Structure 1
């Protein structure tokens, strides 16, 4: 009876972890790109087209599968009420994913329960759960593949899950490839069901892109590569790496060129991994998979100058797994090890992320969202266009047709970038004549031909300033807002002719 009860501890831990993290929904910290996916889902609902602006087809979201999931939640709960249920759904799926992972690497139910909770409150886990991105679903699918496909030997899972994983994000080919290679070297045989699933996943994703959008890869990849591509010297590559690596292998985005905490954790992760794989346990099979994937994914994306931190959430967590296993399985002074880990790392990380969520949630929801709601009330004609960056909050809450600077949601601007990358913004304004411009800069400054054009054809409608949203009746919240102001000052212009 006691054994049966203890075997339920991991399930209780899942419930407790999800319930605990639901408090973060109060921060309203939702990633900008989530609103791009949700607008695509609502565009599908309204026009029957996967797009962003009416009936024009465009893969504005990086994830097809999550678009369809978001579409279903909009359909069931309505446009006004789907966000919270979807965030809860994401959090539940992610936490179930950590449960499956605990089954792969731990035996003791108590250890599993502690593992689930501690990994669930690390910064990347909180962000995966509440920021509205597709990584909650993705993490669940990847861990389900390892557990049901490779641990339980369910052949149909080896075929189905790679398709769903690839359809969620095309870059998951890295994860699927690493898993295949480790399995091949470990078992010295080929799982043909998995090969078939991988091929089917690639073909279905590419075929969907080609036959629906007329492109092989998502437009988001094409647009970012077009705008952000630069030629770096070897010295610049090295300098860029040392300036950026601390943001990715650690769990903190610390400004500056050197982050000693990241180096310490990185070394500790490596030492714990080496210690564990020397024990010749069956779980080493999965430890090799997740640890090699964590390294490879980060190295590839850092080498491609991918700054967006969500690319690194899953690798950050998987690389930290050996640390938690090492501490939980200490036979002597386990409580001391665990206490030190919680007090000096996990709890400070949790506090940092809490402050970050509150401050950034204020900057996004209470500030940037108000730009969209202002435009929604001011402009009743939703066929009018706005040129801006980024394409999340403001387009979603304004309902206006949108041209974004990067070209994620509008392909025409990509043609202007190809023709004249330096002047593509002003050229787009002149040729497309959008009714609204939302800019970080004062477009009237200077005596150039461009500033004269803006002064002639556009009027400053409203200024939006971060400093105006740093007040709260709650003094603690106000201190947090001022400690870490989040957002960017904007100027909103309206066309006068």
Structure 2
């Protein structure tokens, strides 16, 4: 086989990996928050305003850059057909990002090809690609910075890419900061063009927030900080960590407080990293960058009680990189190592993610989306309001104006929380009189039951158990094995 053809193996791996992962589109597993970003993009299309409810400006999405990307996909493909092309685009960008990463840490084209495929089919690699969040673009930009900036020494990359990275997510200042510190320690000098790019990135993002929204940071950050309780004792912090750590380091959500798989994987990651950096290879420069960032991001977000698992997708993958390199570069029993990794980890992870995607896709697309579609048909006046949580599927598919409990898409509820956090929900209902309420709870029981009984009627009950059936018996068994979703009660206002 010619050397030229062998050198193209990583490119072939990118194509094969993308095509393989497109099968997951059939599961319809799309993250709730993606629909918030997409509604913001469509609001920009309809009203010319970055917002959520008509012409009211609000940074309801965590990502500005992805909003504009989603806007253009809506513009090109239309509101009814943009989702699949955008998910494919995300998957392609993420996989190209793994190609950049393989070029930084490996030399053998065969190793690069296997690396790209194995990294891409791990649960975080699948979720980054298919769930509709901004992390496919973000991973591509971050790896492009390392490759074109710190490897190829392209000055333009140091200026442009930090701006795009920060405009995608403001918390990427962690990534940019870790890369700067490792580069400074490694080369014993400040790379001023990179500093300029970082400064311009921060100024661009903050200036955009200030001049467009009148705020320094995204509303989503302010809302979550206000509504989520962070007052924990030391014992509560410890218990929280024990319960949560397996979700973040282990790539795998298992029931229970102790996850031995996570412990083993975590230790093996550290051992492989130490083994690799002792070889004094030039790639250690990049291994230090990605490994320190992975740990820093996890620790910072865990310390802030950041529950959402998508914060940890990129760190999970980067921390696993030393394991893949270690296995691929074994000179003795290499096939045994690769086979063992595939049989005992990669394939079980892939199987788990497949079941998880099918079950969660059913709970989100076939169940939660149904609520939005019901309201879309039932309520023709799209200027009516609904109060609910979360603000993804139901607002997107119903088209109704929305107040969410956390205040991601509506600032007025934040004002009520500041005044009276304990009673902000009922106070919002009494003052703003939304036509619809969607609640996990039975509102006709409890402290404010009398008010709800007078002013609202129970319109419809939505139950997860009603969506666990399928003509395909295998799918039905998966739905029952891992039921996904939350029971809801939908109320309609009957009098003022």
Instruction: Name the residue aligned to 1:57.
Output: 57
SS of the aligned residue for 1:492 comes to: strand
Q: Residue 267 of structure 2 aligns to a residue in which SS? A: helix
Report what 1:492 is aligned to.
Answer: 490
Cα distance in 2 between the residues matched to 1:443 and 1:231: 28
2:120 & 2:301 partners in 1: Cα distance? 24
> Aligned runs of 1:171-320 on 2, under 5 Å?
171-320=171-320
1:330 Cα deviation from its structure 2 partner = 0.1
| Contact 2:230/2:305, CA 8 A, preserved across alignment | no
Distance 1:184 1:226 in 2: 36
Q: CA deviation at 1:234?
A: 1.7
Give the total of aligned pairs: 495
The residue that corresponds to 1:374 in the other structure is 374
Matches within 5 A, 1:389-428: 389-428=389-428
CA distance in 1, matches of 2:251, 2:348: 11
The yes-or-no answer on 1:109 pairing with 2:109 is yes
SS of the residue 1:387 aligns to: strand
**Deviation digits for residues 141-162 of structure 1 (CA, Å, limit 9, x no counterpart):** 0000000000000001011000
Q: Distance in 1 between matches of 2:136 and 2:242?
A: 30
2:325 is equivalent to residue 352 of structure 1: no
Question: Deviation digits for residues 339-373 of structure 1, max 9, x if unmatched?
Answer: 00000001000000000000000000000001000
Cα-to-partner distance string for 1:33-69 (whole Å, 9 max, x where unaligned): 0000000000000000000000000000000000000
Gaps of 5+ in 1: none
8 Å contact 2:455–2:493 — kept in the other structure?
yes
2: CA distance, partners of 1:230 / 1:294: 23
CA distance in 2, matches of 1:493, 1:228: 25
The equivalent residue for 1:142 is: 142
For residues 127 and 311 of structure 1, what CA distance do their matches in structure 2 show? 12
Candidates 471, 474, 491, aligned match of 1:473: 471
Distance 1:287 1:387 in 2: 47
3-state secondary structure, aligned to 1:138: helix
User: Matches of 2:266 and 2:463 in 1, distance apart?
Assistant: 39
Structure 1 residue 255 displacement after superposition? 2.2
- Give SS of 2:325's match: helix
Deviations 1:427-452 (A, max 9, x none): 10000000000000111124x4x100
Report the CA distance between 1:235 and its aligned residue. Answer: 2.0
Residue matched to 1:329: 329
The two structures have a TM-score, normalised by structure 2, of: 0.99
Q: Name the residue aligned to 2:9.
A: 9
Cα deviation, 1:13-50, whole Å, max 9, x if unaligned, reads: 00000000000000000000000000000000000000
Deviation at 1:120, TM superposition (A): 0.4
- CA distance in structure 1 between the partners assigned to 2:321 and 2:55 by the alignment: 45
Residues of 2 paired with 1:160 and 1:216: CA distance? 21
In 2, the alpha carbon distance for the partners of 1:46 and 1:145 equals 34
Give the aligned partner of residue 23 of structure 1: 23
Deviations 1:381-432 (A, max 9, x none): 0000000000000000000000000000000000110111111111100000
Q: CA deviation at 1:229?
A: 2.9
Shift of residue 163, structure 1, vs aligned partner: 0.1
2:11 aligns to what SS in structure 1? helix
Given the two structures, how large is their TM-score scaled by the length of structure 1?
Answer: 0.99
Q: Which residue of 1 aligns with 2:365?
A: 365
Match of 2:155 in 1: 155
Rounded to whole Å, the distance in 2 between the matches of 1:210 and 1:229 is 27
Counterpart-to-counterpart distance in 2, 1:476 and 1:320: 32
Select 1:483's aligned residue among 481, 484, 489: 481
**Residue 132 (structure 1) shift:** 0.1
In the alignment, the residues of structure 1 paired with residue 313 and residue 232 of structure 2 have an alpha-carbon distance, to the nearest angstrom, of 26
Runs of 4+ aligned structure 1 residues displaced above 3 Å come to none
Distance 1:58 1:37 in 2: 12
Measure the CA separation in 1 of the matches of 2:230 and 2:116.
42
SS of 1:459 mapped into structure 2 = strand
Structure 2 match to 1:45: 45
- DSSP-derived class of the 1:339 partner: helix
**2:206–2:216 CA contact under 8 A, matched in 1:** yes
For residues 121 and 230 of structure 1, the distance between their equivalents in structure 2, rounded to whole angstroms, comes to 35
Kept after mapping to 1: 8 A contact 2:230/2:304: no
- Aligned partner of 2:93 in structure 1 is 93
Q: In the TM superposition, what is the alpha-carbon distance from 1:332 to its structure 2 partner?
A: 0.1
d(CA) in 2 for partners of 1:31, 1:239: 27
Checking the alignment, whether the CA contact within 8 Å between 2:223 and 2:407 is kept in structure 1 is: yes
2:434 aligned residue:
434
Aligned with 2:490: secondary structure? strand
Mapped partners of 1:85, 1:339: distance in 2: 34
